Structure 1
Amino acid sequence: MKKAVCIALGLAAGAGAHAQTNVTIYGIADAAFVGENGSSAGHQTKITSGAASASRIGFRGKEDLGNGMSAFFTLETGAKIDTGELDAANTIFNRQAFVGIRTNAGAIAFGRQYTPYHLTLTSVADPFGTGYAGTAKNLFPDNGTNVRTSNTIMYTSPKVSGVHAELAYSAGEQTELSAGRQFGGALDYAQGALRVRLAYNNKNTDVAATGVNHDLGRNVLLGANYDFKWIKLYGAFEVDKGFNSATLGNANNPYGGVKPTPSTDGREILLGFSAPVGPGTLMFSTQRKDDRTHLNQDAREWGIGYLYALSRRTGLYAAYAHIHNKNGAGYTVANNTEPGSGNTGYNLGIRQTF
């Protein structure tokens, strides 16, 4: 009898453990020596956290609910390796904070999440993964709520023949339903060596309390890559239209003189590659901004970088980029966490994932 009770208790404990959420702690520690030049302030050097990938710590969990259904969550906060501070004041899980349900019909999540637009740049179109001095952020408007949004409902469909879709809606939570809201989506195809992704983003920046109204900001982005194993080719083309569709990464007029005006009608194009060279990876891209407003504030950029692998999780990196601005354009060489202050920049750093 006593033996049977022990067996029953053991089975119950095993069942309870199976029902518990499986939680993973993960993160990135990234720090670099950064140099910037070309602004009215002259040459600047500093230690920066997250030049290649934003430093962070996160908690990810999943619980199997049976019948093909599971619950999941992510809580992720950014940290400044150079100072030990949070990377955004008065927040805890400022990077991601969501909970959701996954079924055979797809997944739906609620909370603060990446936009389909940003996921297209970072995972498909940019060989730098929107990090390092060569990041697509230099000319593409990958900043602000184009990157992540709060109060968001995100649906991700199951993958069928290499195709899946994403739909996102972010509530403005104002007295007028449309004020401050943002929505978008993406259609993603991945088969063999080819991946193609088309994203759309629509942003309303009205403020109901003050009666401030603007036209809608819209982004359409097509990104693709093809992996030949010895080299991986990348490309992107984007169309921006409307107010706040293409805000400047650094809006503080770093070059002095007449303050540059964010484009409300523009095109961006990116071509690049990554290739295994020695024990690491060589990355390169070139970008062009075509401002179609009457200001014609165009820009050209190129960037190069190398990630030297010390292990599967740890690497040393070096990157350099330069921008040529025209007609008073104000684009700056950024990295993953900073908008940059000049038209030339370089990074020398170390990154470890866990």
Structure 2
Amino acid sequence: MKLKWSAALLAAATGLAYGQSSVTLYGIVDTGVSYYNNATSHGGTTVGMPTLTGEVPSRWGLKGSEDLGGGLKTFFVLESGFQPGTGGLNYGGRLFGRQANVGLSSDYGSLTLGRQMNMTMYALANADVIGPSIHSLSNLDSYLPNARSDNAIGYMGKFHGVTVGGTYSFGRDAAGPAGPSATNCGGQVAGNFRACKQYTAMLAYDSASFGLAASYDQLRGGTGATAPMTNPAYTDARNIVDGYVFFGPVKVGAGWIRRNQSAATHLQTDMFFGGATWYVTPAFWLDGQGVRYLQRTSGDLNNLGSTLLAARATYLLSKRTSVYTSFGYMFNSSKAANSVAAGGTVGTGMNQVGVMAGLQQRF
């Protein structure tokens, strides 16, 4: 690859010593055509290309590593999320909004510096069989597919099936205000150590047949941040407990997510999910998942509960190219307005059906 040769020539030209190294260009382009109804209080349908995600979010990136000897390696990741329909950047318009970090790894784990996925993302990765797709948990909590932290120090170690990890952010999100992942809370304010801080932690166990994970994620507000987190004294915390198990060609996953937001008013939500993936053949599989969402504001239910049912079929045309169809149905209670489609809209108290047919290419 040209990138690898360029790195080698640059090091030789400058007289630098280096170990065995590599740089990889990779990515996913995933889009299609989606439909959903009841997009406004008067009904109406929406047909077009989704702006946020299809089966998985589109992205491209560069990652590399260098062997420093003695079991020590250095690595970096630069990863950009984009919209195939328009070419626009996601993650608040950042070029490398998905990841931008550098680190060191050894037999004792890895230390990562920069914008990175935090432990909420890792805790959900195995149990959530639908993942961050157009009809998914993210429609009920937009933070989940965007669980990343700016200005962060992260650690992750894996020891005989047990994974221990954590992140600490000096300023959790410097981008804003556009987009569900941009909160305009850069932190690192002189004289205000609490502003926009965030820490996450995870403990997990994985084997060949099953796995369990638990995580905690707390972020603080800051002056000028996206409402309601406009005060450093405000906190927004999520607890996750989940797991998965294999029964031959079937993988079953389930979990619980509790959120407590202490701002001007108190918000508490509970999300219970369960689903399964059936690998019919190595090239064809089916996913299905149900999600129950309950929301309380200052102790009252306020009829804000929703239930999401999602199903998906995926077929590999080759090792790198797949086609899929996805179906979702959102049952909203009288005051709820949770859309069945990521980035979509729905009339308050209306149920909504959504479908999508898509094409995905990996490189």
Same fold (TM over 0.5): yes
Check if 1:276 corresponds to 2:276.
Answer: no
**Gap regions ≥5 residues in structure 2:** 1-11, 172-187, 347-351
Give deviations 1:301-329, integer Å, cap 9, x for gaps: 11111011111211100001111111311
The alpha carbon displacement at 1:223 in A equals 1.5
The alpha carbon displacement at 1:205 in A equals 1.1
1:125 aligned to which of 124, 127, 130: 127
The alpha carbon displacement at 1:164 in A equals 1.3
Q: Is the 8 Å Cα contact of residues 303 and 320 (structure 1) preserved in structure 2?
A: yes
Check if 1:197 corresponds to 2:216.
Answer: no
Q: Is the 8 Å Cα contact of residues 221 and 230 (structure 2) preserved in structure 1?
A: no
1:79 aligned to which of 79, 82, 86: 82
1:231 aligned to which of 239, 245, 250: 250
The alpha carbon displacement at 1:161 in A equals 2.4
The alpha carbon displacement at 1:23 in A equals 0.3
CA separation in 2, counterparts of 1:119 and 1:196? 12
What TM-score results when the alignment is normalised by the length of structure 2?
0.81
The alpha carbon displacement at 1:48 in A equals 2.8
What is the percentage of aligned positions where both structures have the same residue? 27
Q: Secondary structure at the match of 1:19?
A: coil
Give deviations 1:241-282, integer Å, cap 9, x for gaps: 1247xxxxxxxxxxxxxxxxx971121100100002354110
Which residue number corresponds to residue 221 of structure 1?
Answer: 240
Which structure has the bigger radius of gyration?
A: 1
The alpha carbon displacement at 1:125 in A equals 2.0
CA separation in 2, counterparts of 1:109 and 1:321? 37
The alpha carbon displacement at 1:21 in A equals 3.0
Check if 1:30 corresponds to 2:30.
Answer: yes
Which residue number corresponds to residue 42 of structure 1?
Answer: 44
Q: Secondary structure at the match of 2:159?
A: coil
CA separation in 1, counterparts of 2:325 and 2:194? 44
CA RMSD of aligned residues (A): 2.7
State the number of aligned residues: 319
Check if 1:301 corresponds to 2:308.
Answer: yes
Q: Is the 8 Å Cα contact of residues 37 and 46 (structure 2) preserved in structure 1?
A: yes
Change (3 A) 1:309 1:72: same
Which residue number corresponds to residue 287 of structure 1?
Answer: 291
In the TM superposition, what are the counterparts of 1:62-77 in structure 2 within 5 Å?
62-77=65-80
Q: Secondary structure at the match of 1:72?
A: strand
What TM-score results when the alignment is normalised by the length of structure 1?
0.83
Look up the equivalent residue of 1:61 and give its one-letter code. Answer: G
In the TM superposition, what are the counterparts of 1:1-354 in structure 2 within 5 Å?
19=19, 21-40=21-40, 42-48=44-50, 50-88=53-91, 90-121=93-124, 123-133=125-135, 135-139=136-140, 141-143=141-143, 147-157=147-157, 159-172=158-171, 173-175=188-190, 176-207=192-223, 212-243=231-262, 264-278=267-281, 279-292=283-296, 293-294=299-300, 295-334=302-341, 338-342=342-346, 343-354=352-363
Structure of greater relative contact order (alpha carbons < 8 Å, 6+ residues apart): 1
Q: Secondary structure at the match of 2:56?
A: coil
CA separation in 2, counterparts of 1:299 and 1:275? 26
Q: Is the 8 Å Cα contact of residues 75 and 96 (structure 1) preserved in structure 2?
A: yes
Q: Is the 8 Å Cα contact of residues 36 and 341 (structure 1) preserved in structure 2?
A: no
**Gap regions ≥5 residues in structure 1:** 1-11, 245-261
Give deviations 1:42-88, integer Å, cap 9, x for gaps: 20011236311111110000000011100000001122211223335
Change (3 A) 1:99 1:318: same
The alpha carbon displacement at 1:214 in A equals 4.8
